[in-house]
Every structure is written in structure tokens, then in C-alpha cells.
């Protein structure tokens, strides 16, 4: 199999973690006789420095001429600490999602038993956690118009807007995923306050009744969902929600596993699918060879499975990651600093396991 992959390392630790993920993909290509071609582009602060644009047309062209996109991280203190900056790295990610029509973000959260002690929750609460957050990605308050400042900049406003079509297409993805899992969707909203949430509730209930009556549908307000994620996380199977709620809840869910550096994600829609770790650019660690590459490597595994239908190859990557973790090859976010391995060492151990794996 031959596939073209656009690689966007981004900012901060992005280049370091993406390098390990591409090396893993190269190992898979070698072991299973595939050919992956990598084309690199700039995004975020790295792109602003060169093009004065966080998502330049050159990068967009690469993203439209590939089979999948591997993305690292975005963000830079130079812009984060300047509230008056007109151009920001994060605008590049939002623009990419919008222009590629990537409307559904999939974030799996699964507890690794050997790391359960790293969770901030008590063992009895966190055990059994295995959920997926399906987040609508191109609508809502992050994209709604009008938005801006008024009254001599003494007030500000944003618009949250959703259409029936936007809700329907992401809801169907959530129900289909639940059908392959434990058969339950929890739809999270704020329908007691927000009109957009009432639209969400109406549309999701209608789709459930018409098309997915065999799936259990639970309706939950976002404040209750936030509490239950830290009191009874194992009760959730598939969480379906809008853009901002999904952003917040998926980050909350990420800490259940003990480190945000373990969790991958994928975004699907009209254009080439995007695969990325859920964490940020972690600029304090940039260049220090201490960042956890596993979330990015697991994102590459999601690419193999969900974009290329290479299930055996994806399972090989995931098994190598879990074996590496279980044997104690951990970056500083998961162990005492004296026992920690580097980004490179963890990547090399995973590659070693891939190449030596006995695959039937």
C-alpha cells in the first residue's frame, strides 16, 4: 500500500513528538511492505514566522493533496502572553479544521492498568474507564458570527450558532461508534439555558428514535457531566457534545489516565482526516527531549486503522506502546525523574518492539 501523509510538526514539543511518530510509521512500512511518503508543512507560530499566517495556502495545499494529516502541537508564549495579538497560532488549527471540513473530533480515553496509580482519582473510581468523546468541531461559539468588540472596546461578544445538519452528521458518527462498543451515547448540553442546546437535544432525540433505537441514549447537562467524569467515569461509553463543551470535557477526561501525554485523537469530515495528540505545545519542555511521544504515536495508530484500514498494523503499534509502558519505559510525566526515559528512548523502544513483533 502507498499513502501520502502531510506532516505538520507545529510548535513547542511538536517537532520532537512527531519525529517519533513518523519513525514508527516508517517501521510499520518496513515490516508490512507499505510505502508512506511524508510531506512537511508549517502551521501555528512556526508558520507565522515565515508567512505571517498560521495556516498558509502552501500548507492548505499539502493538506488537500494527501491521504491523511499527522499534526503535532500549536501555541507559543510569544502570542499566548499578548492579549492584543491580532494573529495567533491557534487560529491556524481552527482555520485548518474549517477549511478541510473536519467536523467530528474523536478522543478515546482508556485507562492503562499499569498506570492506574498515576490517576488523580482513587483506584476504585477510575478502574474500568474506557470512553470516547465525540466533539463537534467546526461550529458553535468558536466559529459563530458576529463576534468582536464594541463600545470603544469596553464590551465583547461571541455568537454560538448551530444548524440541524451540523448536529445530525456528528450525532450519526457517535451512534455508529456506540454500536461497535457498549451501545450507549451520553449527549451533553445545557438545554435548560441555551437555545443551541435545545436544538441539539431535539435533533439527537429525533435521530435516536428514527435510526438508532437499539442504542441507549442518555441526556445530561454539562455541569453534571463534568462532575460525573470525576466521580463515575466508567459509566460513560460515548459522549456526544458540541464544540466548546467537548473541548473542556475531553481535556478533563484526559487526566483520568494519569497523563495528557497518552491520549490520541482524530478529526474526520469532508477533507483529509487529521490525527493529533490532544495535548498542547508544552513550550517549557521544547528541545529538552523529555516530552511523551506516546499520544502522537497512538494517533498514528488511529491513522493506520481509521484512515488506511490497516488494522493489523494499528494493533501492532498499540501493542508496542502498551508493552513499552508496562515495562516501565516512561517519560517524566509518568514516573520519578530519576527513572525517566527520554522522548527518543521511548520512541526507539516502541520501534524495537514493532520490528520484533510476531505478527500472524
What are the catalytic residues? Answer: 142, 190, 223, 247, 251
C-alpha span between 146 and 155 (Å, rounded)? 14
Cβ–Cβ under 8 Å, residues 308 and 318: no
Which run of H or E residues covers position 188? strand 184-189
Q: Distance (Å, rounded) from C-alpha 20 to C-alpha 299? A: 12
Q: Which three cell numbers stand for residue 291?
A: 516530552
Helical H segments across 285-356, by residue range: 294-302, 311-326, 343-356
Residues 331 and 273: their CA atoms lie apart, in Å, by 28
How many CB atoms within 10 Å of residue 150? 10
Question: In the numeric block, which cell numbers belong to residue 188?
Answer: 451533553
| Structure-block grid coordinates of residue 135 | 466533539
Q: CB–CB of 13/281 below 8 Å?
A: yes
Q: Using an 8 Å Cβ cutoff, are 273 and 38 in contact?
A: no
Say how far apart CA 27 and CA 2 lie, in whole Å.
14
| Spatial separation of the C-alpha atoms in residues 17 and 355, rounded to whole Å | 20
Amino acid at each position: 500500500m502507498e499513502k501520502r501523509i502531510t506532516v505538520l510538526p507545529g510548535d513547542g514539543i511538536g517537532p520532537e513528538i512527531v519525529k517519533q511518530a513518523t519513525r514508527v510509521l516508517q517501521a510499520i512500512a518496513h515490516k508490512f511492505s507499505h510505502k508512506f511518503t511524508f510531506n512537511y508543512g508549517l502551521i501555528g507560530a512556526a508558520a507565522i514566522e515565515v508567512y505571517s499566517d498560521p495556516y498558509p495556502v502552501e500548507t492548505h495545499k499539502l493538506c488537500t493533496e494527501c491521504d491523511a494529516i499527522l499534526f503535532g502541537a500549536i501555541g507559543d508564549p510569544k502570542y499566548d502572553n499578548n492579549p492584543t495579538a491580532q494573529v495567533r497560532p491557534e487560529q491556524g488549527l481552527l482555520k485548518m479544521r474549517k477549511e478541510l471540513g473536519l467536523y467530528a473530533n474523536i478522543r478515546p480515553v482508556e485507562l492503562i492498568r499499569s498506570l492506574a496509580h498515576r490517576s488523580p482519582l482513587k483506584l476504585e473510581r477510575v478502574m474500568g474507564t474506557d470512553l470516547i468523546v465525540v466533539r463537534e468541531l467546526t461550529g458553535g461559539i468558536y466559529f459563530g458570527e458576529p463576534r468582536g468588540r464594541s463600545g470603544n472596546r469596553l464590551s465583547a461578544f461571541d455568537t454560538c450558532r448551530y444548524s440541524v445538519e451540523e448536529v445530525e452528521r456528528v450525532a450519526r458518527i457517535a451512534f455508529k461508534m456506540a454500536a461497535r462498543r457498549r451501545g450507549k451515547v451520553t449527549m451533553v448540553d445545557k438545554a435548560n439555558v441555551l437555545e443551541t442546546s435545545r436544538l441539539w437535544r431535539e435533533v439527537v432525540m429525533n435521530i435516536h428514535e428514527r435510526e438508532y433505537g437499539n442504542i441507549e441514549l442518555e441526556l445530561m447537562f454539562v455541569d453534571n457531566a463534568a462532575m460525573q467524569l470525576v466521580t463515575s467515569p466508567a459509566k460513560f461509553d460515548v459522549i456526544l457534545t458540541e464544540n466548546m463543551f467537548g473541548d473542556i470535557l475531553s481535556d478533563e477526561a484526559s487526566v483520568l489516565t494519569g497523563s495528557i501525554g497518552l491520549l490520541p485523537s482524530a478529526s474526520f469530515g469532508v477533507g483529509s482526516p487529521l490525527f493529533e495528540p490532544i495535548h498542547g505545545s508544552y513550550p517549557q519542555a521544547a528541545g529538552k527531549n523529555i516530552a511523551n511521544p506516546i499520544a502522537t504515536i497512538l494517533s498514528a495508530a488511529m491513522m493506520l486503522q481509521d484512515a488506511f484500514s490497516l488494522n493489523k498494523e494499528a494493533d501492532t503499534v498499540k501493542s508496542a506502546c502498551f508493552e513499552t509502558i508496562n515495562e516501565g519505559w516512561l517519560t517524566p510525566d509518568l514516573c520519578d525523574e530519576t527513572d525517566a526515559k527520554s522522548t527518543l528512548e521511548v520512541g526507539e523502544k516502541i520501534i524495537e518492539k514493532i520490528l520484533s513483533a510476531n505478527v500472524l
